[in-house]
Amino acid sequence: MSERDLLITAAKAADDKKAEDIIVLNMKGISLVADYFMICHGNSDKQVQAIAREIKEKVEENGYEVKRMEGFDEAKWVLVDLGDVVAHIFHRDERSYYNLERLWGDAPTENIVNELNS
């Protein structure tokens, strides 16, 4: 599975659990941490946890390992480290506070809408 396939798998899993405002930042050449940041949010603690759980299950079903998951119990900002892809799942209120899109404003966004609908 390529890093792009991993990204789409994670994004589809988030979308399946009704994650809102899914944005992908292309971090190549900007961050040494990962090639892609996927950012989304849920409207409740339970939804944030459901999104994170679904991402973990779907990527593992496709033969990838989750390097680590942080923040799951608090469900305010769950970070799912998939290696080349890092998924940031926020509670709605926390997302606007941390505003990663602005923090990494020099990173181009990736259009994944077509892949989500396929």
What tokens appear for 24 in the block? 């992908």
Query: Mind listing the pLDDT tens digit for each residue in 88-110?
Result: 999 998 999 999 888 888 888 98
For 47, the 3-state DSSP assignment is helix
pTM for the structure as a whole: 0.93
For 106, the 3-state DSSP assignment is coil
What tokens appear for 113 in the block? 């809408």
Task: State the DSSP code for 24.
Answer: E
CA-to-CA distance for 90 and 25, rounded, in angstroms?
15
pLDDT bracket for residue 72 (50, 70, 90): very high
